[in-house]
């Protein structure tokens, strides 16, 4: 995919280029306070590049090394990838790192976040959607709770509206031009499984 940068240069983002960025990440056990800032920048660059790919292209990528690096970064209690307060997240990498960081009791979405693999909760934490969209582009559940994990979902901003359209199965699909409106934060996507 091609896109314009501020300097009017055209860059190409492909599955292969994002795969190379993921492969360039250090292994989780190699992440330390000495390289935390560099790893944070790598994760942010991957998030930006990934946003240029289609859902099908994202599905072709393996994000396990990315997720392990983000979790290791979170365990270091490294500064979040932006100037946000601890627990305020704007990217998949920040969200994954915050979930892994046991010192953060509440995570607040500061913008819409698209994730490509299941978020795993293995501790007690609150997720504040803050009127934002948490969208899963991959398959599987959006969030899974491990044993001894506890997740509270809240929404502190019920004023934001999101539009949806029903699909052929009657399920609502996020669509900027949709005829149905939901106010407040939304979790959407994934394939999940039915709980009986």
| Four-residue CA torsion sign, 62, 65, 70, 75 | positive
pLDDT of residue 149: 86
3-state secondary structure of 151: strand
The predicted model scores a pTM of 0.61
**What φ, ψ does residue 45 adopt, rounded to 5°?**
-65, -40
Alpha-carbon distance of 143 to 136, in angstroms, equals 9
Q: Are 132 and 156 in contact (CB under 8 A)?
A: no
3-state class (DSSP) for residue 152 = strand
Q: What is the pLDDT along the chain (196 residues), one digit of tens a residue?
A: 444 444 444 568 899 999 999 999 999 899 888 888 898 889 888 888 887 888 788 878 888 888 888 888 777 654 444 445 678 999 998 999 899 888 889 999 999 999 988 898 988 999 999 999 999 987 888 998 988 889 999 999 988 998 998 888 777 888 888 888 989 999 988 876 555 5
| Angstrom distance (rounded) from CA 171 to CA 169 | 5
- Nearest partner of 38 among 83, 84, 69, 6, judged by Cα: 69
Domain residue ranges of the chain, discontinuous segments joined by +:
2-189
């Amino acid at each position: 995919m091609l896109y314009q940068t501020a300097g009017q240069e055209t860059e190409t983002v492909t599955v292969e280029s994002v795969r190379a960025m993921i492969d360039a990440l250090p292994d989780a056990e190699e992440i330390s306070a000495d390289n935390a800032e560099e790893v944070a920048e790598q994760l942010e660059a991957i998030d930006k590049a990934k946003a240029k790919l289609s859902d099908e292209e994202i599905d072709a990528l393996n994000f396990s090394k990315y997720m392990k690096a983000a979790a290791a970064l979170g365990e270091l209690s490294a500064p979040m990838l932006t100037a946000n307060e601890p627990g305020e997240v704007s990217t998949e990498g920040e969200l994954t790192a915050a979930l892994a960081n046991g010192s953060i009791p509440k995570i607040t979405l500061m913008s819409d976040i698209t994730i490509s693999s299941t978020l795993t909760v293995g501790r007690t934490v609150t997720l504040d959607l803050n009127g934002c969209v948490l969208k899963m582009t991959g398959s599987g559940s959006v969030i899974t709770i491990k044993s001894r994990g506890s997740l509270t979902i809240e929404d502190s901003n019920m004023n934001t509206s999101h539009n949806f359209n029903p699909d052929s199965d009657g399920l609502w699909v996020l669509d900027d031009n949709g005829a149905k409106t939901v106010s407040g934060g939304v979790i959407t996507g994934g394939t999940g499984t039915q709980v009986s």
